Chains A and B, each alone.
Chain A
Amino acid sequence: MMPIWTKSGEKHAVTLLKVQDCHVLRYVSKEESGGKTAKLLVGGKNLSPFSKPESAHEIFKEAGVPRKQKVTTFNVTDDAIIKPGTPLYAAHFRPGQFVDVTAKTIGKGFQGVVKRWGFKGQPASHGQTKTHRRPGAISTNKAGKVYRGKKMPGKMGNIYRTSFGLKVWRINTKHDIIYVNGSVPGHTNCLVKVRDSKLPTYKDCNKNPPFPTFFADGDEELPEDLFDEEIFQFTDPSVTFA
């Protein structure tokens, strides 16, 4: 995470996400998948092919791509279908867009009710016998049972969670890095899924994105760094309020 300053001098915290060896693996049509839209299977981050059996490599061999650590699905409309085997780059996103980022949260193991659900517990003194971080009462007398979904101790973390509506501030095309506003679930160097935001406020925010994706062998020559309009770039002199 890094600080970023706007032209008016405000500071925002920014997370760096690297697009590492992402390839489209397979196209699943609407009828095949049984959903409302077609799906594209995308894999990221190369791994050694020797730790898995040959049967697991079929999908990668079809696309002509080394074995990937993670395979995710994206629901895509029919005009955004991409041929399996095309690499995906960070330039697929542009500064000023809004994104949703999904990842597995940091696993905390088996945790008690105070940390997991934010219960207040009991006082430290004034006669409490061996009861400081316990849940207390779990149901009423009239119910006669404990309701399903009652908040109790258990395994915390290591589940998929999404941060919605994060602004993309900057894109580095040389190293394939996306600078995304705010924090993102997951530990450092974990695998993360980035999608266009589904929030209704940002529905019209993506003006002329590279559609269906940014192709590296095309004619477009992008500069090394793409900045949002409001970012203070370090090549400019210091900010003054006139």
Chain B
Amino acid sequence: MIHFLWKEKGANMKENVASTVVFILLLFLNTNLLNGQSPPGKPEIFKCRSPEKETFTCWWKPGADGGLPTNYTLTYHKEGETFTHECPDYKTGGPNSCYFNKKHTSIWTIYIITVNATNQMGSSSSDPRYVDVTYIVEPDPPVNLTLELKQPEDRKPYLWIKWFPPTLVDVRSGWLTLQYEIRLKPEKAAEWETHFAGQQTQFKILSLYPGQKYLVQVHCKPDHGFWSEWSPESSIPIPNDFSMTDATVWIFVAVLSAVICLIMVWAVALKGYSMVTCILPPVPGPKIKGFDTHLLEKGKSEELLSALGCQDFPPTSDCEDLLVEFLEVDDSGDQQLMPAHSKEHPGQGVKPTHSDPDSDSGRGSCDSPSLLSEKCDEPRANPSKFHTPEGLEKAEKPETNVTQPQGPQSTSVEGKIPSFHVSGSQSSTWPLLQPPGLHYSRSSYHSVADVCKLGLGTAGAASTLLDKTDTRALKPSQTIETGGEGKAAEHGESESFHSKTDQDAARLLPQDKTPLTSAKHLEYVEIHKVSKDGALALLPKQNENSGRAEKTSTPETSKEYSKVSRVMDSNILVLVQDRRAQNLAPFEEPAKEAPPPLPQNPAAVDLASFPAAPSNCRLQLGGLDYLHPTGFMHPFQ
């Protein structure tokens, strides 16, 4: 029995032992699991850097350590080698780093680097990292940053910043080329002001706010690498009197220039007008004899215009024709007007023309410096172009009673025309002023307001000059003697010259012109011709109803008022007969620069071919200018 019990006990004990062992084993396992120990996690190389392209360092980040002390090793092999090396220096770069010194560093070679983590439980390796030292260069910041305020005598003060390249970098041999950048800001400012300094190791700052403390930093970059970190801040206080001299000078300059400006403005304001007239002399307005400002003011345009011989207002469309027609002066004695191609104005009647015996039909001579600037020996235009002013006047006679002897008036006007021209008329806009045509031009231009104005204006200006006894009058024809007939005619005519414009109207002949002493009656004279020496050959108006005709012979009964005896009242020409004026030298074509073509008025072509006379030509009438209708017309078209 006892044996049996013993046997049972033994079996039980065995079982107990086995279960205990199992129990203990299980316990052991459990405790192990509760501790969390495992092989290490995978480390990771996160940065490799070379400060001078001669050495480099790699840092890694350990993975989970598995709760056990883990050992890290770094192994690498180089491109072109099979041999695997271990990191030569784990210390220099700090924890979890590997430093490769010069001996172990090859440029332009790929390193394949791996970190192994090992612990009791196991090990793991990082992914291999391919590193070429060429492309991981990042230097240290520059050193010895110094700031200095410099205030030289004759120059502006500035802040002088100096530094040195980082100690490890070999710049002297050219192994690395560094470029620098500085930044500065007042202590309390939010933004940095950055400046690129190139390869120099100093920098000057000129614009600084006085009375503040400035902070300065510098960093550098190798020629094919990364920017370094910023150096530690250096600070410098800027004194309050920094760069004040600059401002005072500028303030002084500003005040001085303001004072000068004020003085100038005041001077201009006080004497502005006289200064302006000094610099830009006023252009004398044209004067028209016979222009009555009172009439103008009263608004009696009809009377005004009729007084001036203008047909009607507003202008009619065929003014050009009138213009063309009535500007021709023919001194051949033919009383007929000879319009080139202009149509006959219904109201004008026959336009008398004059033929020029010497084919020099009263065109203005070429002596006007401004008007007649071309050669004066060019073939004359068709002499038939000239119409006596008288004819022109006559044509308008129905409406006007002012057909007057053109001669004296014209002469006076002529006498002044060149000077008038000189005074301000542009050749192109002031066509030749024909004395005979003057009236006509005026008369005919009435239908074109501006043209009329112009015509009147010229006459008016001429008379103005006359009034003023302008010394610029060219020729001695200032003194105009008039025959008896001329005077009254002129007088009356003067009234006809009321311009319908306001061009110096007041200067025109006054209404109550003093009649010429010997003026007895009105007589229409037509200008026969204008001679070279400034004599106006006038003829009594005849045959006003002669139609267009070519030149006709000089009428035998013509009396020639070809000599100006004097000027009366500064606006009346006194003409006398000049016996010797039978053989007036033919005058030359008035000089005029070629007027622009008038496409709208082919009739004026001949007139347009007026050459301008050189200055050595003489005016027939001491400065007679012919009014060229085309010239008139053109600017106003």
A pairs with B:
no
What is B's interface to A at a CB cutoff of 8 Å?
A: none
